């Protein structure tokens, strides 16, 4: 009886303690990338780069999720999984680059932020260019959010900033 309980305990420890599972994509944060790399880009180039990075992020998140699933199956049968691979490292890099591009967009006053310049200082006409600029900024933010370039939280922050400026 003691041998059976020891065997069961050992089996349980192997099944729960040594999985070495891949990290869920939602728990992989971006690595640091300087926005200086993107400061010479035009607004159009930054937008294209952000879209490209968003697509690559989605591909890598899917690949990481697949790695996690196969790692769970392996861990169930063998007692340990595959762990993180190149997908996790690349996903962290892409997320870091994406954040750097967003910072460059903000510093270059592109997209929603470009209309915050002195050209669009408040006017006395409430139905004039100010409201058009605000509408355009909010539409840009919504387009970026629906395209997956911005998260809902980031879009909300940009909306608040736009409303405060106008």
pLDDT of residue 14: 59
pLDDT of residue 4: 72
Q: Nearest 5 degrees, angle CA 51-CA 56-CA 62?
A: 130
pLDDT of residue 9: 63
pLDDT of residue 44: 87
Contact 134, 69 (CB under 8 A): no
Predicted TM-score of the model (pTM): 0.59
pLDDT of residue 163: 81
Contact 96, 33 (CB under 8 A): yes
Residues 57-61: contacts with CB under 8 Å, at least 24 apart: 57/91, 57/94, 57/95, 57/98, 58/148, 60/25, 60/87, 60/90, 60/91, 60/94, 61/25, 61/91
pLDDT of residue 116: 36
Tokens standing for 33? 């990338």
pLDDT of residue 119: 34
The tens-digit pLDDT sequence of the chain (166 residues) is 677 777 766 666 555 555 677 888 888 999 999 988 998 999 889 988 988 999 999 999 999 998 888 888 887 777 777 778 889 999 999 999 999 998 998 888 885 444 433 333 333 444 455 577 777 778 888 877 777 777 888 888 888 888 877 6
pLDDT of residue 13: 59
Q: Which of 64, 80, 54, 71 is nearest to 149 (CA)?
A: 54
CA 164 to chain centre: 25
């Amino acid at each position: 009886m003691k041998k059976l309980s020891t065997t069961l305990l050992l089996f349980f420890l192997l099944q729960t303690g040594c999985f070495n599972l891949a990290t869920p994509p939602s728990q992989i944060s971006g690595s640091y990338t300087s926005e200086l790399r993107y400061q010479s880009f035009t607004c159009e180039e930054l937008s294209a780069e952000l879209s490209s990075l968003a697509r690559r992020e989605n591909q890598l998140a899917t690949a990481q999720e697949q790695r996690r699933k196969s790692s769970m199956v392996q861990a169930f049968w063998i007692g340990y999984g595959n762990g993180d691979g190149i997908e996790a490292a690349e996903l962290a890099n892409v997320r870091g680059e994406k954040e750097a591009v967003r910072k460059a967009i903000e510093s270059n006053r592109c997209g929603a932020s470009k209309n915050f310049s002195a050209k669009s200082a408040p006017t006395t006409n409430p139905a004039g260019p100010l409201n058009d600029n605000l509408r355009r900024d909010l539409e840009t933010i919504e387009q970026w959010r629906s395209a997956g370039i911005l998260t809902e939280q980031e879009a909300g922050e940009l909306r608040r900033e736009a409303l405060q400026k106008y």
